[in-house]
């Protein structure tokens, strides 16, 4: 199966209010499931926004299933209740450290894989509160090999090329990307899709937190750099049907991977 339906949940995220954000996300995910979505993507740190000063109060251990509880457990329960593959990033507690961690839960509510943000964004003080992830994350979802990245990772093409070389045909990226860098966001999404000949599904939040405004513009970009769906600056559910065979056809038409000369790079 290479064809599936994906929905990006472009939502506002209320600062430091996980219970309120979870209640709203649950309604959005239920509507995405009603639309027949197979994979639903929420933004980066959607349950708390950038309330990193209170990471100790908000973070919970990564849960393998709903029964393990905590915020990740509730996220797993959301996937199970709606019978969808579900992802987005939350604050993870691991010992005495905190991580910005993207989990993918399967329709049975069990953990498929997780990725902790490798590149921490100093302009939003992530490095002061969070530990960086130490590994990439690829997973063979039912429709194809999928790579995970978060927000600022988009500025590091090496990560995306590594995913493509390792077989990724889709890369999913939740974000909190603010004004005034909307042009960067839109350009980089298309660049990563075109140069790696893969789909990019990027879910950015909207709304204003502590004087910072987030512009949305969540999008699904195909391997040719064409936009399948793109949001504006208000809350929206953005749904697209994706056929990953397009990746294979694109790579056959312009064989950039066969023409690489890494020994000279």
Of the residues 44, 92, 126, 176, only one is catalytic, namely: 44
Let me know if 26 is a catalytic residue. no
Of the residues 65, 151, 198, 203, only one is catalytic, namely: 151
Let me know if 151 is a catalytic residue. yes
Let me know if 203 is a catalytic residue. no
3-state secondary structure the chain: CCEEEEEEEECECCCCCHHHHHHHHHHHHHHHHHCCCCEEECCCCCCCCCCHHHHHHHCECCCCEHHHCHHHHHHHHHHHHHCCEEEEEEEEEECCEEEEEEEEECCCCEEEEEEECCCCCHHHCHHHHCCCCCCCCEEEECCEEEEECCHHHHHCHHHHHHHHHCCCCEEEEEECCECCCHHHHHHHHHHHHHHHCCEEEEEECEEEECCEEEECCCEEECCCCCEEEECCCCCEEEEEEEECHHHHHHHHHCCCCCCCCHHHC
Of the residues 13, 117, 145, 176, only one is catalytic, namely: 117
Q: Annotated active-site positions, please? A: 44, 117, 151
């Amino acid at each position: 199966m290479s064809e599936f339906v994906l929905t990006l949940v472009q939502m506002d995220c209320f600062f430091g209010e996980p219970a309120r954000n979870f209640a709203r996300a649950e309604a959005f995910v239920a509507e995405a499931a009603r639309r027949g979505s197979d994979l639903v993507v929420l933004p980066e740190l959607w349950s708390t926004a950038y309330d990193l000063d209170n990471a100790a109060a908000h973070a919970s251990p990564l849960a393998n299933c709903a029964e393990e509880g905590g915020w990740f457990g509730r996220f797993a329960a959301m996937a199970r209740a709606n019978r969808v593959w579900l992802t987005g990033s939350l604050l993870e507690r691991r010992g005495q450290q905190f991580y910005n961690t993207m989990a993918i839960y399967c329709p049975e509510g069990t953990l498929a894989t997780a990725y902790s943000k490798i590149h921490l964004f100093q302009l939003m003080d992530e490095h002061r509160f969070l530990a960086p992830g130490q590994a990439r994350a690829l997973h063979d979802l039912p429709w194809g090999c999928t790579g995970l990245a978060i927000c600022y990772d988009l500025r590091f093409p090496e990560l995306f090329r590594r995913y493509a070389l390792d077989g990724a045909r889709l890369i999913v990226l939740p974000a909190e990307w603010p004004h005034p860098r909307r042009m960067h966001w839109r350009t980089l999404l298309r660049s990563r899709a075109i140069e790696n000949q893969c789909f990019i599904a990027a879910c950015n939040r909207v709304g204003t937190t502590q004087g910072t405004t987030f512009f949305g513009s969540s999008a699904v970009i195909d391997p040719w750099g064409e936009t399948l769906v793109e949001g504006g600056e208000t809350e929206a559910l953005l749904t697209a049907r994706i056929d990953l065979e397009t990746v294979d056809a694109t790579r056959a038409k312009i064989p950039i991977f066969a023409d690489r000369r890494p020994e000279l790079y």
